[in-house]
Structure 1
Amino acid sequence: MSDGSSIGTLVAILRREIARLAPGDRLPSSRDLITRHGVGPVTVSRAIALLAAEGAVVTRPGSGTYVATRRPQPAGGEPDTSWQAVALAGRHVLPDRPDEQSGTGLPPDTISLSGGYLHESLQPTRLLGAALARAARRPDAWHRSPAAGLSTLRTIFARQAGGDIGPEDVLVTGGGQGALSMLFRAIAAPGSAVLVESPTYPGALAAARAAGLHPVPVPIDDEGLRPDLLADAFAMTGARLLYCQPTFHNPTGTVLSPERRRQIADVTRAAGAFLIEDDFARHLGHGRPVPGPLVADDRDGTVIHLTSLTKPASPSLRIGAVVARGPVMRRLLGMRRVDDFFIARPLQEAAVELLSTPTWERHLRTLAIALQHRCAILADALARELPDWTLARVPEGGLHLWLRLPPALTEATVADAAATRRVAVNLGHHYFPAEPPATHLRLGFAAAADPADLPEAARRLALATRDHRPTTG
């Protein structure tokens, strides 16, 4: 029997014994437990420690282990939290987005076409483990980190951004989502408008609304955000902030065309506004050259660049970076000192180790091949199984396909039917800041356990929609 199972077995036995005892009663000594249950002293000490952490027992050095006083149960069984409705009145309610979870809490045998992260088989798990182990061996691994982040990591992110960006222009963040929340709170006053692509990343909409901002949609087309409508939106709203994803836009996969990249920056600059460039997919290309970041050509601090390592590596590598210049960087540093002081140094050191090895570049090349392969498999399967669904494009990067449903189908109908066939999908209306112009689904090809699952998922979706398609006559 393994140590883990021995500890679990002993904990279960002791819980039953504790249930029969009264608060203050003494448990058998460690020596008695070792003899009675045939386990080692380490197993006993760890089992007692787990029970103490749960509040089931208290240990008194030199005296023994005793049953803890049980917490009183509220009358009626369930606690009464109804008072919170009054206390929270007037606060914006942020909806849960369970469909954004990739493989979390899904029924067995479900094929995940939802979520925004790589399946474990695509993550560089061994590389991450080795990087973390090397980082932990550094003598200063647990020292306090500078507020802006480790200089070596900031230098790496500055080099990736390009242009004349230096480490002094980089703030290391705890991933991309937290950085978005910080940026929205730092730049725009509550009650003001923030311009966003329509559709756009739901996490950005949630972060903007949590900051008290009002997302205003600006439509996109096959070349990305439309500069003419962007100029109109700035003029009508007085907004001083634009959030966009120029490269492998989520959810459509669009890449902002070279001409429009200049126009979008010029229009934003003319409006006296900031442009948040969410470059989350820079390392998720499918093998073709990826356009450089907008921030590389920015000279006056209009563009604020956001990048993260969670997408190409692991959801738990919560390391990203913001590139900004001028007073806005000083404001961000001030917020860092209020919010969380600094990002955990061991994780930053691990990121330095990861990005400094040739194996990281090899991982990105391997990942590009795998993503392109999966993308093609799912696109072909959908065209074969569901020819009346409209695929916006076969993207050259990213993790998703964006599909418009035929008029006879609603998102909820398809999602419910898909769930009965054990396929998880993302509903399209979550990606629109206002009323969606049509019904859509976002289908991911990176979260499935195996590429062979993708044609099977398309087959199940076809069966599900046939089961629930309305009849006429």
Structure 2
Amino acid sequence: MPEIKWKPQKNSTIPLHQQISDYVKRKILNGEWTVGTKIPPQRRLAELFEVNRSTIVTALDELAADGLIESKVGSGTKVINNTWNLLASVSPPDWISYVTSGIHKPNITLIQEINKAEANPNFIRLGTGELSPDLLPNKKIQELLQIDNGQSLSLGYTEPKGSLSLRKTVSDHLKLKGIDASPESILIVSGGLQALQLISIGLLRRNSTILHETPSYLNSVHVFQSAGMHLLGIPLDEEGMRYDSIERLKRQHDAALLYTIPNFHNPTGSLMSNRRRAELLKICQKESIPIIEDDVYGDLWFEGPPPKPLKCNDTQGNVLYIGSVSKSLSPGLRIGWIVGPEPVIERLADIKMQTDYGSSSLSQYAVEKWISSGWYEDFLKNIKDELQVRRDFTIKILEKHFSDIATWSIPKGGFYIWLKLHSEISTRKLFDLALREGILINPGSVYDKNDNQHLRLSYSYASIEQLEKGLIHLSQLIKKSAFD
């Protein structure tokens, strides 16, 4: 479905339906909406253009009369022609067939709607998993980039594994977590998501099976699925991912790899116990199943450091460890890292060079200076204090307005509260209702397609005022919907 930002001018002398018809016609004639493009439904167009539905009907009738669009019951309205197509002796490329034939799978519709809504500054975003713009260190970054002549900054390509200076700094940073990793065993990547993409195309065969917690962040992106992999969920309990079924699943499905977020799990916010980490590492070593340990939230603890990463006790090179500053410093810098056996890092570095020729040298410079200067640790302390205030405030709102309609656990760090609704209300229906009221939420089905009872709440993005207003209104929508 095409994205539409334009709106007709209501003070114009040109009738609204004519403005809309002309807009759509320009999109078609310019080749932006090609043959086969599906036009949004009339009701949706009326909302987007902020006009009556009858105005939309008139505009579409004109376009249909010009032979540009066609409506069919059951399949909606599509572009069927443009003037060039009518004049040409051969048909133009069928771009829609190319789009649907692409190797990379499209996001689920719900995720696409969330991504679009997040671009609207008027929404209260109760599910967004990133730091609020108010918490980002914009002024400090500007100060850092006031580079004097004595500092070494290169704007050329870095070496395949990334800036050596940054890798040395990351190596020292990881020692604070108990991970002993030389710069040679570290690859700088453009965020944790690229780390997963490189692993999916660089280390695994098509039709491989990936084990993961359920619910899981992996279900909200199609990194492994688009590379021809299969995902298989393992339930969580109060200590983290259960391990008792791993041996059976390895035998039945020939599982190639296990993915886990032990620290402040996305979406549940849970923290894997020390005992469970040891058990998980032991069984995966016994079954020769490599582990991807995604630790992008690991620095964001509130009440004492979390247990040591799985990588700390990995003496066999069984764990690929992913870290990033996207959640703890700035999503826009797009800098993360993979730690693993050197042959693996060499392989992934080679693929990264083939795909983007290295992460931004300017971002690498900024992150290296930020961590090595000690600013990162100072910033983390402030951010954790702020996030804890927001978490505690959110819990108070939930206790006051949600205690009779939902249950939850209190996270010890990270961004998320996994809210379980008592009522049988469809969370997809609730998403639509909330969206119409200017509130954006993340239903549990984003992380487990069979989940229709949970919401992932985030206290990291919305302001205190927005959290209060948005959550109270959300509770009212839930209670009202439960009785409809």
Q: Which residue of 1 aligns with 2:347?
A: 331
Distance (Å, rounded) in 1 between the aligned partners of 2:381 and 2:281: 30
Q: Which residue of 1 aligns with 2:450?
A: 435
- 3-state DSSP of counterpart to 1:388: coil
Counterpart mapping for 1:367-406 below 5 A: 367-406=383-422
Worse-superposed segment, 301-310 or 150-159 = 150-159
Q: Which residue of 2 aligns with 1:121?
A: 134
Matched to 1:419, the amino acid is: L
Counterpart mapping for 1:130-141 below 5 A: 130-134=143-147, 138-141=151-154
Quick check: 1:85 aligned with 2:97?
yes
From 447, 454, 457, the equivalent of 2:461 is 447
Task: Decide whether aligned partners of structure 1 residues 237 and 205 sit closer, same or farther in structure 2, where only a CA change above 3 A counts.
Answer: farther
Distance (Å, rounded) in 2 between the aligned partners of 1:89 and 1:141: 40
Given that 2:424 and 2:453 are in contact with CA atoms closer than 8 Å, whether structure 1 keeps it comes out as: no
From 473, 479, 482, the equivalent of 1:460 is 473
- C-alpha deviation, 1:468, in angstroms: 2.4
- C-alpha deviation, 1:302, in angstroms: 0.4
RMSD between superposed Cα atoms in Å: 2.5
Counterpart mapping for 1:3-402 below 5 A: 74-75=84-85, 82=94, 84-85=96-97, 88-89=100-101, 91=103, 93-96=105-108, 97-98=111-112, 100-101=114-115, 104-106=118-120, 108=122, 110-134=123-147, 138-162=151-175, 163-202=179-218, 205-402=221-418
Given that 1:400 and 1:444 are in contact with CA atoms closer than 8 Å, whether structure 2 keeps it comes out as: yes
Distance (Å, rounded) in 1 between the aligned partners of 2:182 and 2:116: 35
Matched to 1:435, the amino acid is: N
- C-alpha deviation, 1:272, in angstroms: 1.4
TM-score (norm 1): 0.78
Worse-superposed segment, 85-94 or 451-460 = 85-94
- C-alpha deviation, 1:81, in angstroms: 5.9
- C-alpha deviation, 1:199, in angstroms: 0.6
Matched to 1:151, the amino acid is: L
- 3-state DSSP of counterpart to 1:183: helix
Task: Decide whether aligned partners of structure 1 residues 355 and 204 sit closer, same or farther in structure 2, where only a CA change above 3 A counts.
Answer: farther
Q: Which residue of 2 aligns with 1:6?
A: none
Task: Decide whether aligned partners of structure 1 residues 248 and 209 sit closer, same or farther in structure 2, where only a CA change above 3 A counts.
Answer: same
- C-alpha deviation, 1:415, in angstroms: 1.2
Distance (Å, rounded) in 2 between the aligned partners of 1:390 and 1:124: 35
Distance (Å, rounded) in 1 between the aligned partners of 2:121 and 2:152: 44
- C-alpha deviation, 1:76, in angstroms: 7.5
Quick check: 1:416 aligned with 2:435?
no
Q: Which residue of 2 aligns with 1:407?
A: 423
- C-alpha deviation, 1:84, in angstroms: 3.8
Given that 2:157 and 2:357 are in contact with CA atoms closer than 8 Å, whether structure 1 keeps it comes out as: no
Task: Decide whether aligned partners of structure 1 residues 86 and 173 sit closer, same or farther in structure 2, where only a CA change above 3 A counts.
Answer: closer
- C-alpha deviation, 1:384, in angstroms: 1.2
Q: Return the index of the structure with the highest Cα Rg.
A: 1
Matched to 2:455, the amino acid is: L
**Residues 42-83 of structure 1, C-alpha deviation per residue, up to 9 Å, x if partnerless?**
xxxxxxxxxxxxxxxxxxxxxxxxxxxxxx974579x96645
Given that 2:192 and 2:324 are in contact with CA atoms closer than 8 Å, whether structure 1 keeps it comes out as: yes
**Residues 357-384 of structure 1, C-alpha deviation per residue, up to 9 Å, x if partnerless?**
2332221111111111111111221221
Given that 1:165 and 1:296 are in contact with CA atoms closer than 8 Å, whether structure 2 keeps it comes out as: no
- C-alpha deviation, 1:202, in angstroms: 3.9
Given that 1:202 and 1:430 are in contact with CA atoms closer than 8 Å, whether structure 2 keeps it comes out as: no
Task: Decide whether aligned partners of structure 1 residues 137 and 122 sit closer, same or farther in structure 2, where only a CA change above 3 A counts.
Answer: farther
Segments of 5+ residues of structure 2 without an aligned counterpart are 1-81
Q: Which residue of 1 aligns with 2:19?
A: none
- C-alpha deviation, 1:287, in angstroms: 4.3
Task: Decide whether aligned partners of structure 1 residues 398 and 258 sit closer, same or farther in structure 2, where only a CA change above 3 A counts.
Answer: same
Given that 1:261 and 1:294 are in contact with CA atoms closer than 8 Å, whether structure 2 keeps it comes out as: yes
Given that 1:391 and 1:401 are in contact with CA atoms closer than 8 Å, whether structure 2 keeps it comes out as: no
**Residues 77-127 of structure 1, C-alpha deviation per residue, up to 9 Å, x if partnerless?**
9x966454268448463225135549732362x311122111111111112
- C-alpha deviation, 1:274, in angstroms: 0.9
Task: Decide whether aligned partners of structure 1 residues 243 and 102 sit closer, same or farther in structure 2, where only a CA change above 3 A counts.
Answer: farther
